[in-house]
Amino acid sequence: MKSNVNFLPENFIVNKHNEFITMTMSKCSMSLLQNRIFDAVIATIQHLIKNNRINEDMSSKEDKTIYIDYELFYNCLLEGTSLKRIRKEELKQALDDLVSLTVQFENKNSFGSISIFSKAMIDTNTNMLIITFNPYFDSANLLPQATYTKIVYHNLNSFKSVYSRILYQHIKMLLGSKQLSFKNSIFLSLENIQKIFSINKEQSSYLNSAGTLIRKCIQEPIDDITNNEKSDITVSYEIKKSGKKIVGVKLLFKNKKINFDSDYLKTDFNEFKKTIIKKYKGKFIIQGVNGYDINTKFFLNDDGFIINGTTQKLLEPNVAYSIWSFMYKNQELIGQTLSTQEILLRKYKYRLFKLDNEVYSLIDIEKSNDENLLTLIIEDKNKQRGKIINVDIERLHNLQWEDKI
């Protein structure tokens, strides 16, 4: 029996990959310090949005404005850059870099350029950071993953060059923020490499020599990432040729299991546990943990031990360790009560499944009129979107997912 898939009208959607490339092209002209501040500004905004720590004004149809307490923002920024102080001039430059970002687009009806952020300012009277961005852009797409945890901040800040930061972020964006990777490989033509790393006419050796381009933009950054004990990814590359001519590289990458026994991570992990226990002792801490029912919540008792809220039982040490590891990697979820849709999207968003011999990707989940049913927003290989209505959770779990968790 054919399933009912209703395709939606075509809308202007800015490609996630292109948004990220726009970010990296701008960042190539910045110093390493500017990169650290700029990355932390973007990540801090996204982190505060995800954790409901800011006020959003959605009254305007033309733009979206967010207001962030400056002290909160500045403290998050220091943590993200691993700096003790950020000078006013450096912060002004970071805000200027924000509003300079534009994306070129072209579709059947129009073409042109759009600014990502139209305003970035600090109001000293209200002590607020005010950011206005274009409604065409999803702020989540401006980051290589949904939220930067401490571990990713420290990874970025430990790299030796801007190119290493850019390649690392590019790969993290392609891997995605979920446990299951969005992509594990990609072919980059020489032109793609030049675009991602914003190679200009002044760098003639990069433009005239494929070997130099690959060595500086691919090989050396990969060596930096691979030899860095704090890195949470592994990456390699293969040179691709057409006949005798080099045409690009194929990047192969995957998430690396975090070794909590390394000196840095062991210290940071233990400090993280102490902070969470102090703040959440006797309270709810997390839900949506992989491997558990979506309604299962976990709590800390008065002694700082984890309790399964469904069974009301104290977790065994090895089970508790797995929950702590999950929280360390997903710090944005701590203390957050999630809806059914949010939990399911964390597990299934962008994953591929087969339906009537066609392959689709799950894009979003909406409520149906029946509170026990869901509407799935899907996308086919031609980027055409449609809906599958009145789906229960069991049917969602039992779809023919091509990539098993």
The per-residue pLDDT for range 79-124, each reduced to its tens digit, is 666 677 888 888 888 788 777 776 666 667 777 777 777 888 888 8
pLDDT at position 394 over 60: yes
User: Which contacts of 265-273 are long-range, i.e. CB under 8 A and separated by 24 or more positions?
Assistant: 265/151, 265/230, 268/150, 268/151, 268/154, 269/324, 269/328, 272/150, 272/327, 272/328, 272/331, 273/324
Predicted pLDDT at 80: 61
**Phi, psi torsion values for 267, nearest 5 degrees:** -65, -45
Mean pLDDT along residues 135-157? 53
Q: Which residue has the higher pLDDT, 315 or 13?
A: 315
The CATH number of the domain covering residues in 16-144? 1.10.10
Q: Which residue has the higher pLDDT, 41 or 7?
A: 41
Measured CA to CA, the distance from residue 385 to residue 11 in angstroms comes to: 9
Band of pLDDT at residue 304, cut at 50, 70 and 90: very high
Q: Which residue has the higher pLDDT, 145 or 294?
A: 294
Mean pLDDT along residues 355-366? 87
pLDDT at position 1 over 60: no
Could you tell me the residue ranges of all domains in the chain?
16-144, 162-255, 263-333, 340-401
Of 215, 51, 20, give the one whose Cα is nearest residue 149: 51
Measured CA to CA, the distance from residue 353 to residue 347 in angstroms comes to: 13
Given this chain, do its domains 162-255 and 340-401 carry the same CATH topology?
no
Q: Which residue has the higher pLDDT, 153 or 199?
A: 199
- Tell me if residue 36 falls in helix, strand or coil: helix
* 162-255 CATH, one of 3.40.50.2300, 1.10.10.10, 1.10.600.10, 3.40.50.11270: 1.10.10.10
The per-residue pLDDT for range 172-185, each reduced to its tens digit, is 777 765 555 567 88
Q: Does the structural domain 340-401 have CATH classification 2.30.30? A: yes
Q: Which residue has the higher pLDDT, 229 or 210?
A: 210
Q: Which residue has the higher pLDDT, 18 or 101?
A: 101
pLDDT at position 7 over 60: no
The per-residue pLDDT for range 231-280, each reduced to its tens digit, is 778 899 999 999 999 999 999 998 877 665 566 567 778 888 998 999 89
Across 32-147, the runs of DSSP E, i.e. the strands, are: 55-57, 64-69, 102-106, 111-115, 117-123, 128-133
Predicted pLDDT at 330: 79
Here the tokens at position 181 are: 């990777």
- Tell me if residue 115 falls in helix, strand or coil: strand
% of the chain beyond a pLDDT of 70: 71
CA angle centred on 368, ends 397 and 401, rounded to 5°: 20
Q: Which residue has the higher pLDDT, 112 or 364?
A: 364
The per-residue pLDDT for range 32-74, each reduced to its tens digit, is 666 766 776 766 666 665 555 555 443 344 457 777 778 877 7
Predicted pLDDT at 308: 95
pLDDT at position 9 over 50: no
The per-residue pLDDT for range 307-332, each reduced to its tens digit, is 999 999 999 998 999 899 888 877 77
The per-residue pLDDT for range 249-262, each reduced to its tens digit, is 999 998 877 665 56
Place of tokens 């990959």: 17
Predicted pLDDT at 6: 34
Q: Which residue has the higher pLDDT, 223 or 5?
A: 223
Predicted pLDDT at 282: 93
* 52: CB partners within 8 A, 6+ apart: 336
Report the helix count and the strand count for the chain, using DSSP H and E.
Answer: 14, 19
Predicted pLDDT at 245: 93
The full DSSP string for 319-386 is HHHHHHHHHHHTGGGTTPPPPHHHHHHHHHTT-EEEETTEEEEEEEEEE-SSTT-EEEEEE-TTS-EE
pLDDT at position 154 over 80: no
Rg (alpha carbons) of the chain, rounded to whole number: 22
